[in-house]
Structure 1
Amino acid sequence: MKVEISSNGKTATFQLYDTAAAREFYNQLPLELDLTNFRDAQWMFYPPEKLNVKANEAYHDGKKGELSYYAPWGDVFMLYKDFYAGDEMHRLGIGLSGVDDIAAMSGSAVIRKMEPLAEEKEQTMQITVTANGSAIVYELNDSQASKDLYAQLPLEIEVENYGSNEKIFYPPKKLNTSNTPLVKGAQPGTLAYYAPWADVVMFYGSFGSASGLYELGHAVKGTERIRSLGGTIRIEAGSSR
């Protein structure tokens, strides 16, 4: 994920890290927002939606060229000088170009996604679900609900049994089902979202369809392991090795 920030005739580009907060920021783009200077070391702006940060990803010593997030204020900031903060900050990405131009920015900024390379466009979203040494890899479709789930990763969450053919879990944030296909016939390995309950469903048996049941993707590895999932599972972006 790469982003471009332009202001006052200056442009800087950043490579985002593979964190939930960075993905949530990326999914809000493009944006045009006012810039505010802070302590002559950073330009900051406020994305419309706050980002979910992890305590173990916090830091205090900011370096020139970093793109970061300060959760108490809900601001994203670009450092054009090294900066130490007593409070915890969270890195979103690192500057690729134009770092020396950040200081000259002012007024408003346009923040947009950089066009991915052709080979990057062809890549699909994959997630890995692990528990008790077992891993299941799912390939997600290109729906908004799938993107919303992907943006919340990584997650450690309790999985529950439901009926005789599915395991379910409840992501922290509800998924937007616009542009998301309904399940027409669930099969072992189908990954779905049941909007009325806001739960994600991992099918290990056939089901059919239901009102409000949306398709997110399908298992490409480990379908036979879904049945044995229990307790706390970990869900991460990407496939297992």
Structure 2
Amino acid sequence: MRLRITIGDEHFQATLDESAASRDLAALLPLTVRMSDHGGVEKTGRLPSPLSLDGQPAGADPAVGDVGYYAPGNDLVLYYGDQSYYDGIVVLGRLRDDAAERIAAMDGSITVQLQR
């Protein structure tokens, strides 16, 4: 499934995988999430409800450009830097093109609008 991400005047695309967690995220759309920098490698923001962890491993080692979910915090995550393996991370899909670089250049908190 394709995901449209809008931050201010900028538009990005992502592709979600076929997991239960991704389907749960899609069911929440359209959605607005307030996100902030975390560790200089990601933007994170709380979702209104938890996503399913059915079929997911205990954790993941997301790559730059991944869209993820951090289950312990119920956070949507946009990875723009290198994050190592961590329990509770679920990779939901991938940002397309240069989205990770453009998101990395955004200082501070951002408001993210997500749509199909």
Q: Following superposition of structure 1 onto structure 2, how do residues 163-178 of structure 1 map, counting pairs within 5 Å?
A: 163-178=39-54
Within 2, Cα distance between the matches of 1:231 and 1:218? Answer: 19
Q: Could you tell me which residue of structure 2 aligns to residue 136 of structure 1?
A: 12
TM-score between the two structures when normalised by the length of structure 1: 0.44
CA contact (8 A) 2:21 2:51 kept: yes
Within 1, Cα distance between the matches of 2:43 and 2:16? Answer: 17
Identity of aligned residues (%): 30
Q: Could you tell me which residue of structure 2 aligns to residue 154 of structure 1?
A: 30
Matched, 1:223 2:91: no
CA contact (8 A) 2:15 2:93 kept: yes
Within 2, Cα distance between the matches of 1:184 and 1:174? Answer: 18
Larger of the two Rg values belongs to structure: 1
CA contact (8 A) 1:143 1:181 kept: no
Q: CA deviation at 1:180?
A: 3.0
Alignment: residue pair count: 113
Within 2, Cα distance between the matches of 1:141 and 1:187? Answer: 15
Distance 1:164-1:179 versus aligned 2 partners, 3 A rule: same
Within 1, Cα distance between the matches of 2:81 and 2:110? Answer: 20
Structure 2 gap segments, 5+ residues each: none
Q: Following superposition of structure 1 onto structure 2, how do residues 35-114 of structure 1 map, counting pairs within 5 Å?
A: none
Within 1, Cα distance between the matches of 2:46 and 2:57? Answer: 20
Q: Which has the higher contact order (CA 8 A, sep 6+)?
A: 2
CA contact (8 A) 2:60 2:88 kept: no
Q: Could you tell me which residue of structure 1 aligns to residue 56 of structure 2?
A: 180
Distance 1:203-1:182 versus aligned 2 partners, 3 A rule: farther
Distance 1:182-1:225 versus aligned 2 partners, 3 A rule: farther
Q: Could you tell me which residue of structure 1 aligns to residue 114 of structure 2?
A: 235
TM-score between the two structures when normalised by the length of structure 2: 0.87
Within 2, Cα distance between the matches of 1:182 and 1:140? Answer: 19
Residue 145 of structure 1 aligns with an amino acid whose one-letter code is A
Structure 1 gap segments, 5+ residues each: 1-124
